[in-house]
Chains A and B, each alone.
Chain A
Protein backbone atom coordinates (compact mmCIF):
# COMPACT_ATOMS: atom_id res chain seq x y z
CA UNK A 1 0.00 0.00 0.00
CA UNK A 2 1.45 3.41 -0.91
CA UNK A 3 2.36 5.63 2.01
CA UNK A 4 3.71 9.06 2.79
CA UNK A 5 7.30 8.94 4.02
CA UNK A 6 9.24 11.54 5.97
CA UNK A 7 12.89 12.07 6.78
CA UNK A 8 14.51 12.39 9.20
CA UNK A 9 12.42 10.75 11.89
CA UNK A 10 14.08 12.91 14.55
CA UNK A 11 16.17 16.03 14.12
CA UNK A 12 17.94 17.95 16.86
CA UNK A 13 19.11 21.45 16.08
CA UNK A 14 20.38 24.54 17.84
CA UNK A 15 18.18 27.60 18.20
CA UNK A 16 18.66 29.93 15.26
CA UNK A 17 19.65 27.20 12.83
CA UNK A 18 17.84 26.40 9.64
CA UNK A 19 16.18 23.00 9.25
CA UNK A 20 14.66 21.28 6.27
CA UNK A 21 12.12 18.54 6.83
CA UNK A 22 11.52 16.23 3.92
CA UNK A 23 8.45 14.36 2.76
CA UNK A 24 7.68 12.08 -0.14
CA UNK A 25 3.90 12.18 -0.68
CA UNK A 26 1.95 9.39 -2.33
CA UNK A 27 2.83 9.56 -5.98
CA UNK A 28 -0.50 10.28 -7.63
CA UNK A 29 -1.71 12.76 -5.03
CA UNK A 30 -1.99 16.41 -5.92
CA UNK A 31 -2.50 18.22 -2.62
CA UNK A 32 0.19 18.27 0.05
CA UNK A 33 0.06 19.50 3.60
CA UNK A 34 2.22 20.19 6.60
CA UNK A 35 0.89 19.99 10.13
CA UNK A 36 2.56 20.24 13.47
CA UNK A 37 1.74 18.83 16.88
CA UNK A 38 3.38 20.32 19.94
CA UNK A 39 3.71 17.72 22.67
CA UNK A 40 0.38 17.17 24.39
CA UNK A 41 -1.49 19.54 22.11
CA UNK A 42 -3.68 19.13 19.09
CA UNK A 43 -2.59 18.73 15.51
CA UNK A 44 -2.42 22.15 13.82
CA UNK A 45 -2.55 22.94 10.13
CA UNK A 46 0.43 24.86 8.77
CA UNK A 47 0.16 24.98 5.00
CA UNK A 48 -1.31 23.31 1.94
CA UNK A 49 0.31 23.12 -1.47
CA UNK A 50 -1.24 22.48 -4.83
CA UNK A 51 -0.02 22.89 -8.38
CA UNK A 52 3.43 23.97 -7.20
CA UNK A 53 2.23 26.79 -5.03
CA UNK A 54 0.86 27.45 -1.58
CA UNK A 55 -2.92 27.19 -1.49
CA UNK A 56 -3.65 27.98 2.12
CA UNK A 57 -1.60 28.77 5.17
CA UNK A 58 -2.38 29.28 8.80
CA UNK A 59 -1.27 32.06 11.14
CA UNK A 60 1.47 29.78 12.41
CA UNK A 61 3.07 29.69 8.96
CA UNK A 62 4.93 32.99 9.15
CA UNK A 63 7.94 34.24 7.21
CA UNK A 64 10.23 31.81 8.99
CA UNK A 65 8.57 28.94 7.17
CA UNK A 66 8.67 28.00 3.51
CA UNK A 67 7.68 24.99 1.45
CA UNK A 68 8.97 23.67 -1.81
CA UNK A 69 8.52 20.82 -4.22
CA UNK A 70 12.05 20.83 -5.59
CA UNK A 71 11.98 17.83 -7.86
CA UNK A 72 8.43 16.65 -8.46
CA UNK A 73 8.49 14.00 -5.76
CA UNK A 74 9.88 15.54 -2.58
CA UNK A 75 7.96 18.11 -0.58
CA UNK A 76 9.98 20.08 1.95
CA UNK A 77 9.31 22.36 4.89
CA UNK A 78 12.08 24.79 5.76
CA UNK A 79 12.30 26.68 9.02
CA UNK A 80 14.83 29.47 8.56
CA UNK A 81 15.81 30.32 12.10
CA UNK A 82 14.43 27.85 14.59
CA UNK A 83 13.04 28.92 17.92
CA UNK A 84 12.50 26.83 21.04
CA UNK A 85 8.76 26.89 20.42
CA UNK A 86 9.23 25.22 17.04
CA UNK A 87 9.94 21.96 18.86
CA UNK A 88 7.13 19.66 17.80
CA UNK A 89 6.20 16.69 15.63
CA UNK A 90 5.82 17.80 12.03
CA UNK A 91 3.54 15.70 9.86
CA UNK A 92 3.30 15.74 6.12
CA UNK A 93 0.08 14.59 4.46
CA UNK A 94 -1.21 14.21 0.94
CA UNK A 95 -4.68 14.03 -0.48
CA UNK A 96 -7.10 12.27 -1.08
CA UNK A 97 -7.97 11.19 2.44
CA UNK A 98 -4.83 12.84 3.81
CA UNK A 99 -2.76 9.87 4.79
CA UNK A 100 -0.15 11.04 7.22
CA UNK A 101 3.55 10.31 7.12
CA UNK A 102 5.14 8.95 10.29
CA UNK A 103 6.29 12.40 11.34
CA UNK A 104 9.57 14.11 12.07
CA UNK A 105 10.30 15.04 15.64
CA UNK A 106 12.12 18.35 15.75
CA UNK A 107 13.88 19.25 18.96
CA UNK A 108 15.31 22.73 19.22
CA UNK A 109 17.83 23.18 21.99
Chain B
Protein backbone atom coordinates (compact mmCIF):
# COMPACT_ATOMS: atom_id res chain seq x y z
CA UNK B 1 0.00 0.00 0.00
CA UNK B 2 1.32 3.43 -0.95
CA UNK B 3 2.16 5.68 1.97
CA UNK B 4 2.96 9.38 2.40
CA UNK B 5 4.22 10.85 5.67
CA UNK B 6 4.53 14.58 6.15
CA UNK B 7 6.34 16.42 8.88
CA UNK B 8 5.88 18.41 10.89
CA UNK B 9 2.11 18.10 11.20
CA UNK B 10 1.92 21.70 12.30
CA UNK B 11 4.31 24.62 12.36
CA UNK B 12 4.01 28.16 13.68
CA UNK B 13 6.55 30.76 12.54
CA UNK B 14 6.82 34.51 12.27
CA UNK B 15 6.39 36.49 9.10
CA UNK B 16 9.67 36.68 7.22
CA UNK B 17 10.96 33.33 8.43
CA UNK B 18 11.93 30.54 6.04
CA UNK B 19 10.23 27.16 6.45
CA UNK B 20 10.96 23.69 5.17
CA UNK B 21 8.21 21.12 4.96
CA UNK B 22 9.04 17.46 4.59
CA UNK B 23 7.40 14.61 2.76
CA UNK B 24 8.58 11.01 2.71
CA UNK B 25 6.88 8.32 0.72
CA UNK B 26 6.66 4.66 -0.13
CA UNK B 27 5.11 3.80 -3.44
CA UNK B 28 5.33 0.60 -5.42
CA UNK B 29 5.83 2.19 -8.81
CA UNK B 30 6.56 5.89 -8.54
CA UNK B 31 5.29 8.26 -11.21
CA UNK B 32 5.28 11.68 -9.57
CA UNK B 33 5.07 13.62 -6.34
CA UNK B 34 2.82 16.63 -6.06
CA UNK B 35 2.52 19.49 -3.60
CA UNK B 36 -0.74 21.31 -2.96
CA UNK B 37 -1.79 24.23 -0.78
CA UNK B 38 -5.15 23.92 0.93
CA UNK B 39 -6.70 26.98 2.47
CA UNK B 40 -10.42 26.97 3.07
CA UNK B 41 -11.55 24.44 0.53
CA UNK B 42 -9.94 22.83 -2.49
CA UNK B 43 -6.27 21.97 -2.76
CA UNK B 44 -4.44 24.31 -5.12
CA UNK B 45 -1.70 22.78 -7.23
CA UNK B 46 1.83 23.98 -6.49
CA UNK B 47 4.36 21.60 -8.01
CA UNK B 48 4.71 18.24 -9.70
CA UNK B 49 8.08 16.52 -9.36
CA UNK B 50 9.16 13.53 -11.35
CA UNK B 51 12.96 13.69 -11.44
CA UNK B 52 15.48 13.73 -8.64
CA UNK B 53 17.58 16.80 -7.93
CA UNK B 54 15.76 19.25 -10.16
CA UNK B 55 14.46 22.17 -8.15
CA UNK B 56 11.11 23.62 -9.12
CA UNK B 57 10.53 27.25 -8.19
CA UNK B 58 7.57 29.55 -8.11
CA UNK B 59 8.23 32.90 -6.48
CA UNK B 60 9.14 32.29 -2.85
CA UNK B 61 8.25 28.60 -3.05
CA UNK B 62 10.58 25.87 -4.20
CA UNK B 63 10.62 22.12 -4.05
CA UNK B 64 12.97 19.28 -4.77
CA UNK B 65 12.69 15.52 -4.93
CA UNK B 66 15.12 12.80 -3.88
CA UNK B 67 14.03 9.51 -5.43
CA UNK B 68 16.87 7.58 -3.84
CA UNK B 69 15.96 8.59 -0.29
CA UNK B 70 12.23 8.77 -1.14
CA UNK B 71 11.49 12.25 0.09
CA UNK B 72 10.72 15.75 -1.01
CA UNK B 73 10.93 19.14 0.64
CA UNK B 74 8.93 22.28 0.09
CA UNK B 75 10.67 25.53 1.00
CA UNK B 76 8.99 28.84 1.54
CA UNK B 77 11.24 31.86 2.00
CA UNK B 78 10.27 35.25 3.45
CA UNK B 79 6.95 33.86 4.63
CA UNK B 80 3.83 36.03 4.64
CA UNK B 81 0.57 35.65 6.52
CA UNK B 82 -1.05 34.60 3.24
CA UNK B 83 1.13 31.51 3.25
CA UNK B 84 -0.84 30.18 6.22
CA UNK B 85 -2.50 26.99 4.98
CA UNK B 86 -2.30 23.23 5.04
CA UNK B 87 0.35 21.99 2.63
CA UNK B 88 -0.40 18.60 1.17
CA UNK B 89 2.02 16.16 -0.37
CA UNK B 90 0.73 13.40 -2.65
CA UNK B 91 2.28 10.63 -4.72
CA UNK B 92 1.11 9.06 -7.92
CA UNK B 93 1.62 5.42 -8.71
CA UNK B 94 2.64 4.49 -12.23
CA UNK B 95 0.84 1.14 -12.22
CA UNK B 96 -2.48 2.50 -13.43
CA UNK B 97 -1.03 3.91 -16.64
CA UNK B 98 -1.84 7.47 -15.71
CA UNK B 99 -5.25 6.87 -14.23
CA UNK B 100 -4.27 6.13 -10.65
CA UNK B 101 -5.52 8.45 -8.00
CA UNK B 102 -3.14 10.24 -5.69
CA UNK B 103 -2.21 9.07 -2.22
CA UNK B 104 -2.11 12.02 0.13
CA UNK B 105 -0.27 12.69 3.33
CA UNK B 106 -2.03 14.23 6.31
CA UNK B 107 -0.60 17.63 5.51
CA UNK B 108 1.45 20.21 7.38
CA UNK B 109 -0.62 22.96 8.95
CA UNK B 110 1.51 26.10 8.60
CA UNK B 111 0.62 29.21 10.56
CA UNK B 112 2.45 32.46 9.87
CA UNK B 113 2.18 34.98 12.69
CA UNK B 114 2.51 38.67 11.88
Q: Which residues of B sit under 8 angstroms from A73, Cβ to Cβ?
A: none
Instruction: Encode contact with B along A59-98: 1 for CB under 8 Å, 0 otherwise.
Output: 0000000000000000000000000000001010001011
Contact: B43 with A43, CB < 8 Å?
Answer: yes
Contact: A44 with B42, CB < 8 Å?
Answer: no
Q: Which residues of A sit under 8 angstroms from B96, Cβ to Cβ?
A: 48, 55-56
Selected interface stretch from B10-18, B59-67, B100-108: B100-108
Residue of A nearest to B32 (CB): A97
Contact: B102 with A45, CB < 8 Å?
Answer: yes
Residue of B nearest to A105 (CB): B41
Q: Which residues of B sit under 8 angstroms from A42, Cβ to Cβ?
A: 88, 104-107
Q: Does B112 contact A (CB under 8 A)?
A: no
Of B41, B97, B101, B106, which one neighbours A33 at CB under 8 angstroms? B101
Q: Does A46 contact B (CB under 8 A)?
A: yes
Query: Interface residue tally of chain B, by bracket?
Result: 20 to 34
Of B45, B98, B107, which one neighbours A100 at CB under 8 angstroms? B45
Decide yes or no: A43 and B98 within 8 Å by CB, A91-B42, A98-B45, A103-B41 being known contacts: no
Of A41, A43, A44, A49, most B-chain CB atoms within 10 Å:
A43
Q: Which residues of A sit under 8 angstroms from B45, Cβ to Cβ?
A: 97-100
Q: How many A-B residue pairs have CB under 8 A?
A: 62
Instruction: Encode contact with B along A8-42: 1 for CB under 8 Å, 0 otherwise.
Output: 00000000000000000000000101010000011
Bound-complex Cα distance A106 to B64 (A): 36
Decide yes or no: A58 and B101 within 8 Å by CB, A43-B88, A97-B34 being known contacts: yes
Contact: A100 with B105, CB < 8 Å?
Answer: no
For residue A42, give the distance in angstroms from its CB to the closest CB of chain B: 5
Q: Which residues of A sit under 8 angstroms from B27, Cβ to Cβ?
A: none
Q: Which residues of B sit under 8 angstroms from A43, Cβ to Cβ?
A: 43, 88, 90, 102, 104
Q: Does B48 contact A (CB under 8 A)?
A: yes
Q: Which residues of A sit under 8 angstroms from B43, Cβ to Cβ?
A: 43, 91, 100
